[in-house]
Amino acid sequence: MDYNTKRNKMALPEYGRNIQNMVDYLLTIEDREKRNKSAQTVIDVMGNLFPHLRDVQEFRHKLWDHLAIMSNFQLDIDFPYEPPTPESLKELPNTVPYSKNRIKYKHYGRTMELLIKEADSFEGEERDIIIEQLANHMKKSYLSWNKDAVEDRLIFNDLEEISGGKLKVPEGTQLADVKTLVSTPKKKKSKKKK
């Protein structure tokens, strides 16, 4: 029996064993012109596996790159695009720079800190409305991370501390009820058979 485990490893198994066999056959063709025509045929067959993409220019470039990879970069043909090099496949991606911001209260998030900072620029009644909305959102965020009930005074203190004492909740402000802020999933009613 001919098992796949005993066969050569495929560089791009998503194309399948038959395409890999075609690429291996390309390496045995000695006539360069015939090899070029055969390579174009293999590219067309590879494109047929993805008919919705085969006419997109970038996708055709990708197919030619895959052909070079599947031939282990040994295929000597006239590539319409610059083929990749083995070294280019081993390059590591650029490191992603991570934010160095320190968040004092992680359950509120960085965005809340930025909103609080921005709210300081408002004045009058508009400022009071924004402060109340921020406090309600902070309460909602707090409850999503901490399932316990929270007193409004704690939220007011956190808001004042995050703002550096610049934002104070107006006297008499009451935040929304816990039930309106955090919705619980409704239970499905079972239908009784009649």
Lookup: tokens for 173: 């402000």
Each residue of 122-172: pLDDT tens digit?
988 999 999 999 999 999 888 888 777 788 899 999 999 999 999 888 888
Q: Are 11 and 34 spatial neighbours (Cβ–Cβ below 8 Å)? A: no
Each residue of 25-38: pLDDT tens digit?
999 999 999 999 99
pLDDT band at 40 (very low <50, low <70, confident <90, very high): very high
Mean pLDDT, the chain, integer: 87
pLDDT of 5 higher than 90: no
d(CA 124, CA 119): 11
pLDDT at 191: 65
Find the mean pLDDT for residues 109-116.
90
Q: Coil, helix or strand for 17?
A: helix
Q: Exposed, middle or buried by CB within 10 Å (0-12, 13-18, 19+), for 6? A: exposed
Answer with the residue of higher pLDDT: 53 or 33. 33
Each residue of 65-111: pLDDT tens digit?
999 999 999 999 999 999 999 998 888 888 888 878 788 888 888 89
Owner of token pair 């816990």: 178
- With a pLDDT cut of 70, the percent of the chain lying above it is 92
pLDDT at 184: 62
pLDDT of 194 higher than 60: no
pLDDT of 54 higher than 90: no
Question: How far is residue 24 from each of residues 38, 91, 121, 161, measured CA to CA in Å?
Answer: 12, 26, 68, 68
User: In angstroms, how far is the first alpha carbon of the chain from the final one?
Assistant: 61
pLDDT at 179: 73
d(CA 18, CA 100): 50
Lookup: tokens for 147: 């399932």
Q: Are 20 and 65 spatial neighbours (Cβ–Cβ below 8 Å)? A: no
Q: Are 67 and 43 spatial neighbours (Cβ–Cβ below 8 Å)? A: yes
